[in-house]
Amino acid sequence: MTTVAEFFDYWRDAKLRREEFGFADPTRPDDAEKLHDEHLAASKVLEDTKAEVLKFLRPVKTGKGVWSVGFDPNAIEKIAELGNLIEDTDQKLQSIAQTVAQFLELSGGACRIEEIATRRATIRQRLKAAENFAKAAVNTELRRAGGGDISLDRIKEIPAVGEAYGKLAILHEELDPQLEDLDRRLAAMRPLVV
Protein backbone atom coordinates (compact mmCIF):
# COMPACT_ATOMS: atom_id res chain seq x y z
CA MET A 1 0.00 0.00 0.00
CA THR A 2 1.18 3.50 -0.78
CA THR A 3 2.46 5.51 2.18
CA VAL A 4 1.75 9.18 2.86
CA ALA A 5 5.36 10.05 1.93
CA GLU A 6 5.02 8.10 -1.33
CA PHE A 7 1.81 10.00 -2.09
CA PHE A 8 3.62 13.33 -1.73
CA ASP A 9 6.56 12.02 -3.80
CA TYR A 10 4.17 10.88 -6.52
CA TRP A 11 2.63 14.34 -6.85
CA ARG A 12 5.98 16.13 -6.59
CA ASP A 13 7.28 13.98 -9.45
CA ALA A 14 4.07 14.49 -11.45
CA LYS A 15 4.43 18.27 -11.15
CA LEU A 16 8.07 18.08 -12.26
CA ARG A 17 7.09 16.00 -15.29
CA ARG A 18 4.35 18.46 -16.22
CA GLU A 19 6.77 21.37 -15.92
CA GLU A 20 9.34 19.54 -18.00
CA PHE A 21 7.03 18.15 -20.68
CA GLY A 22 4.06 20.50 -20.55
CA PHE A 23 0.75 19.13 -21.75
CA ALA A 24 2.42 16.09 -23.33
CA ASP A 25 2.82 14.56 -19.88
CA PRO A 26 0.19 11.87 -19.25
CA THR A 27 -0.02 12.77 -15.55
CA ARG A 28 -2.89 15.23 -15.67
CA PRO A 29 -3.94 17.19 -12.61
CA ASP A 30 -6.31 15.35 -10.29
CA ASP A 31 -8.29 16.64 -7.30
CA ALA A 32 -6.05 14.55 -5.04
CA GLU A 33 -3.17 16.81 -6.05
CA LYS A 34 -4.75 19.55 -3.92
CA LEU A 35 -3.64 17.63 -0.82
CA HIS A 36 -0.05 17.75 -2.07
CA ASP A 37 -0.37 21.47 -2.83
CA GLU A 38 -1.73 22.18 0.67
CA HIS A 39 1.09 20.18 2.20
CA LEU A 40 3.68 21.96 0.08
CA ALA A 41 2.31 25.40 1.02
CA ALA A 42 2.18 24.55 4.73
CA SER A 43 5.70 23.10 4.61
CA LYS A 44 6.94 26.33 3.03
CA VAL A 45 5.25 28.41 5.74
CA LEU A 46 6.82 26.20 8.41
CA GLU A 47 10.27 26.43 6.84
CA ASP A 48 10.05 30.22 6.44
CA THR A 49 8.76 30.68 9.99
CA LYS A 50 11.55 28.59 11.48
CA ALA A 51 14.09 30.62 9.49
CA GLU A 52 12.49 33.81 10.81
CA VAL A 53 12.81 32.56 14.40
CA LEU A 54 16.51 31.92 13.88
CA LYS A 55 17.02 35.62 13.06
CA PHE A 56 16.22 36.44 16.68
CA LEU A 57 19.01 34.29 18.13
CA ARG A 58 21.71 36.32 19.87
CA PRO A 59 24.74 35.58 21.99
CA VAL A 60 23.72 36.09 25.61
CA LYS A 61 25.62 35.90 28.84
CA THR A 62 24.11 33.58 31.43
CA GLY A 63 23.86 34.39 35.11
CA LYS A 64 27.10 32.45 35.63
CA GLY A 65 28.91 34.67 33.15
CA VAL A 66 29.02 32.02 30.41
CA TRP A 67 28.19 32.95 26.84
CA SER A 68 25.37 31.03 25.26
CA VAL A 69 22.82 31.35 22.48
CA GLY A 70 19.44 32.83 23.32
CA PHE A 71 16.64 34.91 21.93
CA ASP A 72 16.69 38.68 21.65
CA PRO A 73 14.84 39.85 24.80
CA ASN A 74 13.33 42.77 22.85
CA ALA A 75 11.57 40.38 20.41
CA ILE A 76 9.74 38.07 22.83
CA GLU A 77 6.28 38.96 21.50
CA LYS A 78 7.33 38.41 17.88
CA ILE A 79 9.02 35.12 18.80
CA ALA A 80 5.84 33.99 20.63
CA GLU A 81 3.77 34.82 17.52
CA LEU A 82 6.18 32.83 15.37
CA GLY A 83 6.06 29.95 17.87
CA ASN A 84 2.26 29.89 17.67
CA LEU A 85 2.45 29.93 13.87
CA ILE A 86 4.88 27.01 13.96
CA GLU A 87 2.54 25.02 16.22
CA ASP A 88 -0.50 25.82 14.05
CA THR A 89 1.36 24.89 10.87
CA ASP A 90 2.62 21.65 12.43
CA GLN A 91 -0.97 20.76 13.32
CA LYS A 92 -2.10 21.61 9.79
CA LEU A 93 0.62 19.35 8.34
CA GLN A 94 -0.46 16.52 10.64
CA SER A 95 -4.08 17.03 9.60
CA ILE A 96 -3.12 16.94 5.92
CA ALA A 97 -1.12 13.75 6.49
CA GLN A 98 -4.14 12.16 8.24
CA THR A 99 -6.38 13.19 5.34
CA VAL A 100 -3.93 11.66 2.85
CA ALA A 101 -3.84 8.45 4.92
CA GLN A 102 -7.67 8.32 4.82
CA PHE A 103 -7.60 8.99 1.08
CA LEU A 104 -5.08 6.21 0.47
CA GLU A 105 -7.07 3.78 2.59
CA LEU A 106 -10.24 4.55 0.62
CA SER A 107 -8.44 4.43 -2.72
CA GLY A 108 -6.65 1.17 -1.96
CA GLY A 109 -3.30 2.95 -2.30
CA ALA A 110 -4.09 4.85 -5.50
CA CYS A 111 -2.75 8.40 -5.56
CA ARG A 112 -5.40 9.65 -7.97
CA ILE A 113 -9.20 9.82 -7.75
CA GLU A 114 -9.14 9.27 -11.49
CA GLU A 115 -7.86 5.71 -10.97
CA ILE A 116 -10.94 4.78 -8.96
CA ALA A 117 -13.25 6.62 -11.37
CA THR A 118 -11.65 4.76 -14.27
CA ARG A 119 -12.21 1.39 -12.57
CA ARG A 120 -15.83 2.37 -12.03
CA ALA A 121 -16.26 3.44 -15.65
CA THR A 122 -14.73 0.16 -16.85
CA ILE A 123 -17.22 -1.85 -14.78
CA ARG A 124 -20.09 0.23 -16.12
CA GLN A 125 -18.86 -0.32 -19.68
CA ARG A 126 -18.68 -4.09 -19.13
CA LEU A 127 -22.25 -4.13 -17.80
CA LYS A 128 -23.51 -1.94 -20.63
CA ALA A 129 -21.81 -4.16 -23.22
CA ALA A 130 -23.44 -7.27 -21.69
CA GLU A 131 -26.83 -5.53 -21.65
CA ASN A 132 -26.39 -4.52 -25.30
CA PHE A 133 -25.41 -8.09 -26.18
CA ALA A 134 -28.55 -9.45 -24.50
CA LYS A 135 -30.73 -6.86 -26.26
CA ALA A 136 -29.10 -7.75 -29.58
CA ALA A 137 -29.88 -11.43 -28.96
CA VAL A 138 -33.54 -10.54 -28.41
CA ASN A 139 -33.62 -8.36 -31.53
CA THR A 140 -32.01 -11.13 -33.59
CA GLU A 141 -34.67 -13.60 -32.49
CA LEU A 142 -37.42 -11.09 -33.20
CA ARG A 143 -36.09 -10.66 -36.74
CA ARG A 144 -35.89 -14.44 -37.15
CA ALA A 145 -39.51 -14.69 -36.11
CA GLY A 146 -40.29 -12.39 -39.03
CA GLY A 147 -42.01 -9.79 -36.95
CA GLY A 148 -44.70 -12.26 -36.03
CA ASP A 149 -46.31 -12.41 -32.68
CA ILE A 150 -43.81 -13.90 -30.32
CA SER A 151 -44.02 -13.45 -26.59
CA LEU A 152 -41.13 -12.33 -24.44
CA ASP A 153 -41.48 -15.55 -22.46
CA ARG A 154 -40.96 -17.53 -25.67
CA ILE A 155 -37.95 -15.38 -26.65
CA LYS A 156 -36.33 -15.96 -23.25
CA GLU A 157 -36.60 -19.70 -23.81
CA ILE A 158 -34.44 -19.46 -26.94
CA PRO A 159 -30.95 -20.71 -25.95
CA ALA A 160 -28.98 -17.73 -27.35
CA VAL A 161 -31.19 -15.23 -25.53
CA GLY A 162 -31.26 -17.24 -22.31
CA GLU A 163 -27.49 -17.58 -22.39
CA ALA A 164 -26.98 -13.84 -22.99
CA TYR A 165 -29.28 -12.91 -20.12
CA GLY A 166 -27.71 -15.59 -17.92
CA LYS A 167 -24.26 -14.10 -18.53
CA LEU A 168 -25.66 -10.65 -17.83
CA ALA A 169 -27.10 -11.84 -14.51
CA ILE A 170 -23.79 -13.44 -13.54
CA LEU A 171 -21.94 -10.27 -14.48
CA HIS A 172 -24.33 -8.15 -12.42
CA GLU A 173 -23.87 -10.53 -9.50
CA GLU A 174 -20.10 -10.18 -9.77
CA LEU A 175 -19.79 -6.49 -10.63
CA ASP A 176 -22.67 -4.75 -8.82
CA PRO A 177 -21.00 -5.12 -5.39
CA GLN A 178 -17.74 -3.79 -6.86
CA LEU A 179 -19.57 -0.88 -8.42
CA GLU A 180 -21.33 -0.08 -5.15
CA ASP A 181 -18.00 -0.24 -3.32
CA LEU A 182 -16.33 2.10 -5.81
CA ASP A 183 -19.28 4.52 -5.64
CA ARG A 184 -19.09 4.50 -1.83
CA ARG A 185 -15.33 5.04 -1.87
CA LEU A 186 -15.52 7.85 -4.42
CA ALA A 187 -18.26 9.55 -2.40
CA ALA A 188 -16.06 9.36 0.70
CA MET A 189 -12.88 10.44 -1.13
CA ARG A 190 -14.19 13.54 -2.89
CA PRO A 191 -14.86 15.59 0.29
CA LEU A 192 -11.30 14.88 1.42
CA VAL A 193 -9.83 16.77 -1.52
CA VAL A 194 -12.15 19.79 -1.61
Q: Tens of pLDDT along 43-84?
A: 999 999 999 999 999 888 888 888 888 888 888 999 999 999
Residues 6+ apart with CB under 8 A from 4: 97, 100, 101, 104
Final residue of a structural domain among 73, 107, 141: 107
Residue 82 and residue 21 in one domain: yes
CB atoms within 10 A of CB 14: 20
Q: Among the listed ranges 71-80, 127-136, 148-157, which one has the minimum average pLDDT value? A: 148-157
Final residue of a structural domain among 77, 107, 137: 107
- Confidence band, pLDDT 50/70/90 cuts, at residue 21: low
User: Is the separation of the CB atoms in 92 and 43 below 8 Å?
Assistant: no
Residue 102 and residue 88 in one domain: yes
Residue 24 and residue 103 in one domain: yes
Q: How many domains does the chain have?
A: 2
**74 lies in which domain range?**
4-107
Indicate the residue type of 102: Q
- Confidence band, pLDDT 50/70/90 cuts, at residue 26: low
Residue 55 and residue 143 in one domain: no
Residue 146 and residue 51 in one domain: no
Q: How far is CA 30 from CA 95, 114, 120, 187, in A?
A: 20, 7, 16, 15
Tell me what pLDDT residue 168 has: 94
Residue 132 and residue 96 in one domain: no
Tell me what pLDDT residue 74 has: 87
